[in-house]
A and B are shown apart, each in its own frame.
Chain A
Amino acid sequence: MKISIQINEGPYQHQASDTAYQFAKAAIAKGHEIFRVFFYHDGVDNASRFTIPPQDDRNVVNNWASLDIKNAEGEPELVVCVAAALRRGMLDEGEAGKNGIDGNNIHPAFRISGLGQLIEAGIQSDRLVVFGD
Chain B
Amino acid sequence: MLLIPCPYCGVRPELEFSYGGQAHIARPQTSASAEEWAAFQYERVNTRGPHAERWRHTHGCGRFFNVVRDTTTDQILRSYRSGER
Does B associate with A? no
